[in-house]
Structure 1
Amino acid sequence: MARSTNQRPHISARAAALQGNSLGELFQLARERGAIDMALGTPGYPEPAAGIIQAAHDALGAGRNQYVFPPGDLALRERIAEGLPTPTDPRTEVTVTVGATEALCIALLAVIDPGDEVVLLDPGYEQFRAAITLAGGVPRSVALREPDWRLEPADLAAAFGPRTRAVLLNSPGNPTGRVLTPQELGSIAELAQTWDTTVICDEVYGSFVFDGRLSTSITEVPGLAERSIVVGSLSKDYAISGWRLGFLRADAERTKTLRHVQEVTTNGTAAPLQVAVGAAAASADLKVAAEEMARRRDLALEIFTGMGMRITPAEGGCFLLADVSALTGGRMDGRAFTFELLDATGVLVVPGASSFADPARGANYVRIAFNRQVGVLDEVARRVRSFRPAGEQRGV
């Protein structure tokens, strides 16, 4: 019997549970209005190094346009290994991926089975929860304590149990800008050892740490090093987010499994772009970029705290998480505020609720990206200087 065309197609439960990116509507509206984007983490600063761009031209012209060994061009893996804080074998412990997004999905697919639990910090990058869901896992959120987004050991311990298979971290964090301390990582290490848990850490913002702090990789922490998978990216360091180059760093045994999963996802990423970064990454000055990023953080803090937002200064990364309740007087939440700010000034920020496991907890927050050119920040300051929110809650 022919199937009725009125029946809805079958969708897997894990796919049906995905909510989609919360930013699509906002970005479409911002594009239509020519708004200043202070929402997306796409680098406005730094600019791509001229040497890397030229190296890409050279690689394309030299015919490096076919498949590369799926784990990645060796010269690029060597370059990545050189930049890591602990000794790493580029041949057996580094895998190049299609951005950090693929790296994260590969890591989760490699270590959890459907129904397994994954501990993660809250608030956090909203795509983490979606990636866990897609892999069949169950997120177990640990609330970071306001206003400075600290991790309480008791809260962390309560999240672990017999089904805990992985911990998913992000340091420096999106959206909080928190850099996890060696003490916090030590607490995670103790629990990971007790429950025999793999620890995955997104360290994509590790080059941008401020105020004399040092970013501690999980590969440097006893108890984590031997059970770690690092998710990395070249997007922010080298301002080449459109090239989609990320990587995984893990011990040789885990790397074998990660590469098997990669073989049935993308089986590798763009060869000439890998060659370009491997050849010319040294032309980018990451030390200067970090210093300049701190300057931009300070400018953004001055602009938005000057408006009346409450913000704990980011310790690293490229985002501020701002509480707008004092500015709005409770008349609107972060989403309504975002639209009113966009309408009045042409400046786009992001409602913070989607970064929280319980959106109500994040209702009064917005996220602001500060990896922008100074001229852009100056224009934002000019536009928002006289802004005062006046609207009531808006049903959008």
Structure 2
Amino acid sequence: MTSPRVSARVRRLIEGRMFDLLAEANRSAALDLALGVPGAPEPSPMAVEAACRAVRAGRNQYEVAAGHPLLRRWIAGTLPGDVDPDTELTITVGASEALAAATLSVLDPGDEVVIFEPYYENFVNAVVLAGGVPRFVRCRAPEWRFDPDELRSAFGPRTRAVIVSTPNNPTGHMLDPGEWAEIARLCRQWDAVVISDEIYGGFTFTKPHQSVLEVPDLAGRRLLVGSLSKSHAVSGWRLGYLCADAGLTAVARQVHATLCAGAPAPLQAAVAEAAAEDPLFAAPADDLRAQCDRVVGMVRGIGLHATVPDGGCYVMAGVPAGTDGDSLARQLIREAGVLVAPGSLFHVDATAGAGHVRVAFNRSMSFLDEADGRLASFRTPVWSAP
């Protein structure tokens, strides 16, 4: 029996190469420091109770597709600039749907999109599903900045968009004003837009976060992707948002309504209620700096090279000479019962990421205590810091 024909777009999707490691880790009950599923901060008890009340009160049908008006108003107030919640903000089913709505709104088949690597794999898959063609620009350790000449070379007549992540997943690098200026100049030159994933903007450690909304030269050609998944530890609630000027938002809302008809109504109402009752709700309950410092110390303790990232919830750690990230990840599962993500997962050419592993630190301190105890057995004289 022949298999049914599937689309060329689906055949071009990046496969989740983490699955094999996850299966091995699950068999050995390894502690997960690989995925970004939040173990910290804690979800707001106020929001959880409000969600229960909303469900019991019958808020179980569709919300307006653009999103709960009070939730949009609150989110708009947390963003820089003067965002109009009625015409410039849409509540989405997590950041993933916001990303998909953004790419489907601006790309035609064959359009090119600049993506920085190391990358979050959904950036590539969102472009591919929209019929676009990724053009990769390498960012290199230790600063994880792009080379301006390489970026200029990636642009051309077919360039329609640039996808950025700031703070970056997986490196933690945050774009500075000079980098933003170069991106903006090229977008104006080639009539491209920026899709900026800023879901980790609430977690910054070395310098202030600059949003795409704060880059005047990108006005009218920017789409901001945001989410409550990491900042408020409600990744299962699937509450994200897409912010753009009114013209782009009108188009993105058509795509959004087609994709999903709207985000979960009772959960939108719950967040709106909690935000109205607690003036501090906008900020994460835990800024993760202590966890960041703890994990940097832990990975240094087993001979990896690590520095405090600009922001986010990951440390991109360099592995010692004589090994590679994939081998080290499997060794840590077997010998320490700890799972980290090989750097190869974040590059189109796996060998480009062989020198690194990504370690998540959005975990409780008690969880990190246990992981540290397991890693202590791995601290042998064979491993010395570079």
**Partner Cα separation in structure 2 for residue 389 and residue 226 of structure 1:** 55
State the AA in 2 paired with 1:381. D
State the AA in 2 paired with 1:64. R
Choose which of 77, 84, 88 in structure 1 pairs with 2:79.
84
Match of 1:265, SS? helix
**Partner Cα separation in structure 2 for residue 390 and residue 164 of structure 1:** 50
| Structure 1 partner of 2:371 | 380
**Partner Cα separation in structure 2 for residue 214 and residue 342 of structure 1:** 36
State the AA in 1 paired with 2:46. G
Does the CA-based 8 Å contact 1:116-1:138 persist in structure 2? yes
**Partner Cα separation in structure 1 for residue 241 and residue 232 of structure 2:** 14
- What does 1:154-233 correspond to in 2, within 5 Å? 154-211=149-206, 213-233=207-227
Q: Deviations over 1:18-39 (max 9, x none)?
A: 1321222222332333221101
| Structure 2 partner of 1:342 | 333
TM-score of the superposed pair, with normalisation by structure 2: 0.95
**Partner Cα separation in structure 2 for residue 19 and residue 351 of structure 1:** 16
Does the CA-based 8 Å contact 1:192-1:223 persist in structure 2? no
Residues 122 and 14 (structure 1 numbering): CA distance in 2 closer, same or farther, change over 3 Å? same
Mapped pair 1:57 → 2:48: no
**Runs ≥4 in structure 1, deviation > 4 angstroms?**
284-288, 388-391
The farther-off stretch of 280-289 and 260-269 is: 280-289
Choose which of 355, 365, 369 in structure 1 pairs with 2:346.
355
Choose which of 254, 257, 269 in structure 2 pairs with 1:263.
257
Shift of 1:334: 1.2
- What does 1:41-52 correspond to in 2, within 5 Å? 41-52=36-47
Does the CA-based 8 Å contact 1:160-1:195 persist in structure 2? yes
Choose which of 134, 144, 150 in structure 1 pairs with 2:145.
150
**Partner Cα separation in structure 2 for residue 143 and residue 309 of structure 1:** 22
State the AA in 2 paired with 1:250. A
Choose which of 32, 36, 56 in structure 2 pairs with 1:37.
32
State the AA in 2 paired with 1:262. H
Residues 288 and 266 (structure 1 numbering): CA distance in 2 closer, same or farther, change over 3 Å? closer
Q: Deviations over 1:117-159 (max 9, x none)?
A: 0011111112211211111111111111322111222121111
State the AA in 2 paired with 1:380. A
Choose which of 5, 10, 19 in structure 2 pairs with 1:10.
5
Shift of 1:289: 3.7
| Structure 2 partner of 1:3 | none
Mapped pair 1:240 → 2:234: yes
Identity of aligned residues (%): 46
* RMSD value, Cα: 1.7
Residues 9 and 48 (structure 1 numbering): CA distance in 2 closer, same or farther, change over 3 Å? same
State the AA in 2 paired with 1:374. M
Match of 2:216, SS? coil
Does the CA-based 8 Å contact 2:41-2:284 persist in structure 1? no
Residues 235 and 218 (structure 1 numbering): CA distance in 2 closer, same or farther, change over 3 Å? same
Shift of 1:288: 6.4
Shift of 1:193: 0.6
Residues 9 and 287 (structure 1 numbering): CA distance in 2 closer, same or farther, change over 3 Å? closer
Q: Deviations over 1:159-200 (max 9, x none)?
A: 110000001000000000001001110110111111110111
Match of 1:226, SS? coil
State the AA in 1 paired with 2:324. D
**Partner Cα separation in structure 2 for residue 311 and residue 60 of structure 1:** 45
State the AA in 1 paired with 2:248. R
Does the CA-based 8 Å contact 1:229-1:248 persist in structure 2? yes
Shift of 1:220: 0.8
Residues 389 and 40 (structure 1 numbering): CA distance in 2 closer, same or farther, change over 3 Å? farther
Choose which of 101, 107, 110 in structure 2 pairs with 1:112.
107
**Partner Cα separation in structure 2 for residue 255 and residue 155 of structure 1:** 31
Shift of 1:287: 4.7
**Partner Cα separation in structure 2 for residue 339 and residue 305 of structure 1:** 18
Choose which of 85, 89, 94 in structure 2 pairs with 1:94.
89
Shift of 1:389: 8.1
Does the CA-based 8 Å contact 1:209-1:290 persist in structure 2? no
State the AA in 2 paired with 1:280. A
Q: Deviations over 1:58-92 (max 9, x none)?
A: 11111111111011111111111011011111111
State the AA in 1 paired with 2:84. D
Mapped pair 1:294 → 2:295: no
The farther-off stretch of 28-37 and 362-371 is: 28-37
Match of 2:308, SS? coil
- What does 1:277-292 correspond to in 2, within 5 Å? 277-281=271-275, 283=278, 285=281, 287=283, 289=285, 291=287
Match of 1:342, SS? helix
| Structure 1 partner of 2:269 | 275
